[in-house]
Structure 1
Amino acid sequence: MLSNMLRTHYTNQISPQEIGEGEQIKVAGWVYEVRDLGGICFVVVRDREGKAQVTLVKKKTDSELFDFSRKLIREAVISVTGTVKPSDKAPNGFEIIPSEINLLNNADSPLPMDTTGKVEAELDTRLDARYIDLRKPKTNAIFRIRHEVLRSVRDFLTCNGFIETTTPKVVATATEGGTSLFPITYFMTEAFLNQSPQLFKQILMSSGMDNVFEIGPIFRAEEHDTRRHLNEATSIDIESSFSDHYDVMQILEDMLSQVYLNVKQNCESQLDVLDLDLEVPKTPFLKLKYEEAINIVNSESDEELEWGEDLGTIAENLVGQDVFERTGQSHYFIIDWPTEIKPFYAMGYEDNAEISKSFDLMHRRMELASGAQRVHEYDILKNRIEAKGLNPDNFDFYLDAFRYGMPPHSGWGVGCERLLMTMTEVDNIRDVVLFPRDRRRLSP
């Protein structure tokens, strides 16, 4: 039970069996609907947990209260004081008989969009008026699931010995080089919005913290305009000392399975709203070598991929469909990527440096995560930076940590939005971000 002055219960906390006869309750929310039938008026109030029907009978209700209720505007904010009465005809099996209805704030009309979901709005309209869009049950359900995903990630990693950290988002140099950075003015010098916590979480391995994780924003100045790319996203990252790439792959697949299980158990009403029957991924995930993935693409496609080429969207879909048809599983790893197409910090195999101890976690729709065992020896790492055409002097703050006892370590980063996108089966990544940032959208 709540103790707020204007509300004692959310709508999903109301039960005629648990609330005594004649006991006063208060609910508060938005006017979802007003149905005036002459001698009887129904006001449906909606809060974040659902809806409740407020019933006013003209012959039994104060005339001033009855007339006031009939004139309420959709999406006006109200609080209702009354008693609960069982009713088979009312939603959720009860109705509220009001003794008082207070208008807390009115709403302009017409609304920017329909909040009932009966009339669909274009994505741009929804994002421009996100505060209204979030009142729709389907939109709201996605972000309740997002909350559970992030809570589950934190709980899982904490219970497995990881320490949560936060690393800088304003940096002096690129994580991986390249031009996909947003430059900013930092007092009298140029700086950038960080594209990954990678370098800092590796530095922390030198500190003896051993296992760290971070959930935070990353920024990529790439001019994508697709359904799966954003310029600001949320990344879930770990780094683990004395671990190889197989160790952190197991952490990743176990975490993902636990997250799905928690969402299935704790977000039942949200999954019902989205009409989703969530299937918990079975572990261990299939580990497909890069070479095998290339062979699948070349056997199924007219366009032949060569060794050292990255997998595009079409190739990913072909491999994902092949794995799904053979195993019935949507999640799998592609491992042993060519070293040349992975970042400088990815370690090559001792007996074949052209192949790296790296992996991508795939969903049959798209890539979700990437990771690797890292180079932990100073001289090799410096040479790798130079081989990528980068200046080691720009990485002094990072390289210094490798000179004084850096243990072997591995890690990965998961795109939170892509995980949610595949979990909730939405078609556009912007649907799982409260206020998305892409090349065309900077407001709200």
Structure 2
Amino acid sequence: MAMEVLSRLLADYRELNTFHGIKISRGSPKITHLLFADDIFLFCHATTDDILTLKAVFDLFSDLSGQEINLSKSSIHFSRNVPSDLRRTLCTLIGIKEMSSESRYLGHKQEAFSASLQAFKSEISTYLIQFSNLYSKPRSEILTLSWVQQCLQLLPSMNRAFKKLMVDINYPMNRWQVPLVDDYLKESLKLLELLNSITSSLSHLGQARMSLSYALSLLENSPSLAMKTLEAIQPLGSNKKWEGEETKARQEVVRYSSGEEWVICQAMAIMKVVGFWICGVVASSLCGDIESCLKLRKLIEELPNSSLMSLHVSVCEEMMKKGGLFEVKEVNKGVVQLGAVTCGGSSSDEAEELRRRVEILGKLLKDVGNEVNQLFSEVLLERNNLLNSLHQKQ
């Protein structure tokens, strides 16, 4: 009933031509207000006359209905052509604040966006907590190739949550604006580069494993040549591609004009931080690079997830103890043991044990390699789908 009073007052002032609405097109009628449940959307020119008229309507409404407009819960959205000094003047005249960039959608819609974003954050947090809990006690499992594979499997889980978010807010990629598309293409390209770097580390370990297999094949007929060829696996060492990326990943989130874009941008920022941490930890583990692993702490300090920080600390502690992957350390121990007994005589048991370890290493490297290749293909497919949708819009 009260909203009907306010609606009637606005209509009367419009008929008197003292309150001007807006036209959404040249031939359309002027719109002064829209009602939705307990919310009202008001449309007027950015002039002192319209604002003072609107203030007079509010005062008259309060006198007639006995109710007051809650100005503290109201806000004004200006078009981009309104100068900042005029905005401040008009806001002061009516006593209503200007709407922030992330609140361009009022009432239920902004609340829905916030709820969808919070649901996305909770889902990502749940994945990280569950993963962290898997290795909270059996810390010996950390820095195994099976653990590396499970780390990488967090990436498609996050991507599924991101797709669900796009559905929830009804903002698929084919509706994205150019700045958001550019950001996504840039970050997905960086992810492809990081996956390529991981592939290089896997390739290095694979080649070292093949050299060991070849040396073991020589052992029976040419033991002296086999021992000359038999060498422990050396880590690839620090990968310079990773340096400085922990700072880039924390760059300030760009402000976007629409509520959907703001939600997607916030979600992409989270995926960027967590995704880079995952790739960074995996690469550091494969290279035995404790220094790079320690630097990743800066990346996640601002992420409100204590489980991820706890896991990161555990990974760094285990890397300082072990120096690298468990399977690689086991193979290298076998190389040392075989070399020791070969000098003294029979070495069949040690050779067989080393073959077993090398075979396990090869199988696990293949599994992780397949995981990385699958991730690479999925990221590439998403990029291509986005680019195709842009071409279709043109």
Which structure is larger by alpha-carbon Rg, 1 or 2?
A: 2
**Structure with higher strand content:** 1
Q: Structure 1 length normalisation: TM-score?
A: 0.24
Q: Which has the higher contact order (CA 8 A, sep 6+)?
A: 2
**Structure with higher helix content:** 2
